[in-house]
Amino acid sequence: MYEGVVQDLIDELGRLPGVGPKSAQRIAFHLLQADPADVRRLTEVLTVVREKVRFCERCFNVAEDTECRICLDVKRDQSFLCVVEEPKDVVAIERTREFRGRYHVLGGAISPIDGIGPDDLKITELVRRLGEEPIEEVILATNPNLNGEATATYLSRLLRTMGLRVTRLASGLPVGGDLEYADEVTLGRAFEGRRVVDA
Amino acid sequence: MSLGPIAGWTAPRLGGVFVRHLTLQDFRSYESADLEFASGVTTFVGLNGQGKTNIVEALGYLASLSSHRVAQDAPLVRAGAGQAIVRAAVVRDDREQQLELEINPGRANRARLGRSPLTRPRDLLGNLRTVLFAPEDLALVKGDPSERRRFLDGLLVARQPRWAGARADYDKILKQRNALLKTARTATDRQSALSTLPVWDSHLAKVGANLVYARLRLLRDLQPYLQLAYDEVSAGQSDARTSYKSSMYDELAEQLAAGEVPEVGELEAGFAKTFEQQHRAEVERGQTLVGPHRDDVVLQLGALPAKGYASHGESWSFALGLRIAAFQLLRHDLGTDPVLVLDDVFAELDAGRRRRLALMVADCEQVLITAAVGDDVPDSLTGATFTVTLGKVTPDDQ
Ligand SMILES: Nc1ncnc2c1ncn2[C@@H]1O[C@H](COP(=O)(O)OP(=O)(O)OP(=O)(O)O)[C@@H](O)[C@H]1O
Ligand SMILES: [Mg+2]
Ligand SMILES: [Zn+2]
């Protein structure tokens, strides 16, 4: 155990995802020895990020305002809506430059084992948007793994009665994986080759 | 279908596959072992508990990613050690390839093929195939349905490794569906708790139908070999057959038991119909009651089921017949022999059966035999012999 505030720092770092006690200790001592200016910058970003960044009220992507930059961008095509699990998936798809519509971030995927059902995802909000916005095609871009597929099937069954085109990214994405890890070319191709789901 | 004379059981062979070298580190009783093999017959002789089975178990694990003795990995790691390593040099068409598996109980195992680490140990499958017969196989006849499912799925994967992926997917979907049914059992609003059930139904049905279809085809293909193999080991006393016992609704289950192999789509529809019939029971019990995880294979000797009726000797012959049939199926399908392992088999057989078994295996590319008493192994099976004493394996001078 270290003295008071140093131990506090180690404990706080250790609560971050993916950081074990050993790494927490290493990061703590790195910070103690780092250039004060570097540490100040980190402190500022941490403060600002909590104050400024929140979730877009429309699509639940990360945003600096009540709505995110993509929702506010009038040049984006309102007739296409891409449904993803997490904000990081928005980033992955934006990188491909293949998609010019808007997004809807569910906040996860259906997984009974983890107690996550449709009510725990932003699905009611999605349905409301489909009623309010001039959306013509919904592209289901949940992860190409079992829970992502289940979520896509659930949504396609829910949405098919609404008179929209519902499509799913083409196969060819690494099965069992995350969108995040698909390379840009593969992901871009998956977009181009998307198919109407017949679930 | 003509299989030719038994003594030959010949098949067009593309080139041999055999294990030239096996290295164990902290596997079972071995701190380390380095064993050099040739093709043909290799025999391990040693008293009880000296480590003979441990050697062939390691090889079987490398080939199938599962042990024939335990379901968990922990017992495979030498007491006091953190991980075990099994490494083999496999010769195929005169080219040698190294297979390595790191067994980490409680954590993910890791595999290498040649120099490259593999993303998943599963990707190792298909590079080495073994058919292993051991005293534990008596459970194929006398044991629970899970034993027979394991036999079937193991052979499915040995034949076409891609089925390992389907099995893994099936198990994951099944867990999700069971979790959902369990929550629904105690939920105040059952309707809403089950809102995603149709999704899991359709996903389970899709993967499940493919698995059942593959199993049915496998049984159909295995049948002629089984008949022949059982005739051989039992000296032609009775008719050995299998039939698939499915958890589908009655009429479909009857069709499958009669040996029909419907299209995958029909099986998928069968799932849907059975889910409907079983809905109340599934929700009450919080469990999925239909699917390959509930199915069984009925082993028949003549008009009677083997389980509960067959004598000890008949049960033995049936279990051995299943393994030999599996070997023959793989030989004919793949054009190369899997490595045949006979653990402690000869001691259980009378003189006539020993002779016939020896005749059957004599032309296999590689056979590994273990015996507590060397004299139990017929003299006709000549080859290298190792003596196993207290975890030390010493080659006998020829
Ligand atoms: N994880 C382990 N760590 C250390 N020793 C182990 C471990 N697992 C098994 N053993 C030891 O290995 C021995 C059993 O070896 P094995 O099953 O290979 O015997 P065998 O030579 O085949 O005997 P038999 O003729 O009775 O079949 C036992 O003495 C057992 O205690
Ligand atoms: Mg043994
Ligand atoms: Zn937004």
* In chain B, domain spans: 1-129+338-398, 135-334
Amino acid at B18: F
Q: Do B195 and A117 touch (CB under 8 A)?
A: yes
Q: First-to-last CA distance in chain A?
A: 57
Q: What is the pLDDT of residues B340-396, one digit of tens each?
A: 999 999 988 888 889 889 998 988 999 999 999 989 999 888 889 999 998 889 998
CB contact at 8 A, A118 and A154: yes
pLDDT at A78 over 50: yes
Percent of chain B residues topping a pLDDT of 90: 81
Range in A185-189, B74-78, B306-310 with the lowest mean pLDDT: A185-189
Which of A116, A120, A142, A153 would best serve as a mutation to test chain B binding (most B beta carbons within 10 A)?
Answer: A153
Closest residue (by CA) to atom 29 of ligand 1? B49
Q: Which fold has domain B1-129+338-398?
A: Rossmann fold (3.40.50)
Nearest residue to B159 via CA among B204, B218, B104: B218
The CATH code for residues A74-196 is 3.40.1360.10
Radius of gyration of the CA atoms of chain B, in A: 22
Q: What is the pLDDT of residues A97-144, one digit of tens each?
A: 889 999 999 999 999 999 999 999 999 999 999 999 999 999 999 998
pLDDT at B14 over 60: no
Q: Which residue has the tokens 């199915």?
A: B295
Average pLDDT of every residue of chain B:
92
CB contact at 8 A, B27 and B3: no
Q: Which residue has the tokens 């015996």?
A: B371
- Compute the average pLDDT of residues B87-114: 94
Torsion sign across C-alpha atoms A179, A184, A188, A190: negative
CB contact at 8 A, A149 and A163: no
CB contact at 8 A, B155 and B64: no
Q: Which atom of ligand 1 is nearest to the CA of B135?
A: 27
Count of CB contacts below 8 A, A vs B? 40
Please, what is the Cα angle at B84 between B79 and B87, to 5 degrees? Answer: 145
Q: How many residues does chain A have?
A: 199
| Tokens encoding B240 | 């050995």
pLDDT at B177 over 60: yes
pLDDT at A1 over 80: no
Chain A 80-109, residues with CB within 8 Å of chain B CB atoms: none
Q: Which residues pair with B30 in a beta bridge?
A: B27
pLDDT score recorded for residue A49:
83
pLDDT score recorded for residue A199:
52
Radius of gyration of the CA atoms of chain A, in A: 20
Cβ of A195: how many Cβ atoms within 10 Å? Answer: 10
Q: How far is the CA of B68 from the centre of ligand 1 (A)?
A: 14
Q: First-to-last CA distance in chain B?
A: 42
A111 vs B: CB within 8 A: yes
pLDDT score recorded for residue B2:
37
Distance from CA of B200 to the nearest CA of A (A): 7
Q: Do A112 and B183 touch (CB under 8 A)?
A: yes
Q: Tell me how far apart the alpha carbons of residues B263 and B269 are, in angstroms, rounded to a whole number.
A: 10
pLDDT score recorded for residue B15:
64
Closest residue (by CA) to atom 8 of ligand 1? B28
Which residue among B25, B54, B394 has the greatest number of ligand 1 atoms within 8 angstroms of its CB, and so is best to mutate? B54
Q: What is the pLDDT of residues B276-311, one digit of tens each?
A: 999 999 999 999 999 999 999 999 999 899 999 999
Q: Do A150 and B199 touch (CB under 8 A)?
A: yes
At A97 the three-state DSSP class reads: coil
Residue B42 sits at φ, ψ, to 5 deg, of -125, 130
pLDDT at B160 over 80: yes
Residues of B in contact with A150 (CB under 8 A): 176, 196, 199-200, 203
CB contact at 8 A, B367 and B40: yes
pLDDT at A35 over 90: yes
Q: Which residues pair with B244 in a beta bridge?
A: B297
Amino acid at B89: A
pLDDT score recorded for residue B8:
40
pLDDT score recorded for residue A163:
85
β B110-113/B95-103 pair status: antiparallel
pLDDT score recorded for residue B4:
36
State the SS3 of chain B: CCCCCCCCCCCCCCCCEEEEEEEEEEECCEEEEEEECCCEEEEEECCCCCCHHHHHHHHHHHHHCCCCCCCCCHHHECCCCCCEEEEEEEEECCEEEEEEEEECCCCCCEEEECCEECCCHHHHCCCCCEEEECHHHHHHHHCCHHHHHHHHHHHHHHHCCCHHHHHHHHHHHHHHHHHHHHHHHHCCCHHHHCCCHHHHHHHHHHHHHHHHHHHHHHHHHHHHHHHHHHHHHHCCCCCEEEEEECCCCHHHHHHHHCCCCCCHHHHHHHHHHHHHHHHHHHHHHCCCCCCHHHCEEEEEECCEECCCCCCHHHHHHHHHHHHHHHHHHHHHHHCCCCEEEEECCHHHCCHHHHHHHHHHHCCCCEEEEEECCHHHCCCCCCEEEEEEECCEEEECCC
More confident: A197 or B196: B196
**Under CATH, to which class is B135-334 assigned?**
mainly alpha
Cα torsion at A156, A157, A162, A165 (round to 10°)? 30
| Closest Cβ opposite residue B203 in set A112, A118, A153 | A153
Q: So what's the ipTM on this one?
A: 0.81
Nearest residue to B22 via CA among B34, B6, B10: B34
Q: How far is the CA of B49 from the centre of ligand 1 (A)?
A: 5
Q: Do A146 and B193 touch (CB under 8 A)?
A: no
pLDDT at A160 over 90: no
Distance from CA of B232 to the nearest CA of A (A): 45
More confident: A64 or A107: A107
Split at pLDDT 50, 70, 90, the class of A79 is very high
Q: Tell me how far apart the alpha carbons of residues A61 and A80 are, in angstroms, rounded to a whole number.
A: 16
Q: Which residues pair with B385 in a beta bridge?
A: B43
Residue A96 sits at φ, ψ, to 5 deg, of -75, -20
Q: Do A157 and B199 touch (CB under 8 A)?
A: yes
Amino acid at A99: F
Chain B 130-189, residues with CB within 8 Å of chain A CB atoms: 169, 172-173, 175-177, 179-180, 183
Q: How far is the CA of B55 from the centre of ligand 1 (A)?
A: 10
- Compute the average pLDDT of residues B315-328: 95
Split at pLDDT 50, 70, 90, the class of B1 is very low
Range in B3-7, B198-202, B211-215, B329-333 with the lowest mean pLDDT: B3-7
Reading phi first (left if > 0) and then psi (alpha if -120 to 50, else beta), residue B369 is in: beta
Q: Tell me how far apart the alpha carbons of residues B293 and B308 are, in angstroms, rounded to a whole number.
A: 22
Split at pLDDT 50, 70, 90, the class of A171 is low
B192 vs A: CB within 8 A: yes
> Which residues are CB-contacts of B369 (< 8 A; sequence separation ≥ 6)?
B41, B42, B43, B44, B341, B342, B345, B346, B377, B381
Range in A49-53, B79-83, B235-239 with the lowest mean pLDDT: B235-239
Per-domain boundaries in chain A? 4-52, 74-196
More confident: B86 or A172: B86
Percent of chain B residues topping a pLDDT of 70: 95
Q: What is the pLDDT of residues B56-67, one digit of tens each?
A: 999 999 999 999
| b/e sequence B126-164, b meaning 16+ C-beta within 10 Å | bbbbbbbbbbbbbbbbbeeeebbbbbbbbbbbbbbbebb
Nearest residue to B373 via CA among B44, B42, B2: B44
The domain made up of A4-52 is a member of CATH 1.10.8.420:
yes
Q: Tell me how far apart the alpha carbons of residues B56 and B68 are, in angstroms, rounded to a whole number.
A: 10
Nearest CA in chain B to A149: B203
For the sheet with B296-301, list strands across it.
B240-245, B296-301, B304-305
CB contact at 8 A, B151 and B85: no
The structure's pTM equals 0.87
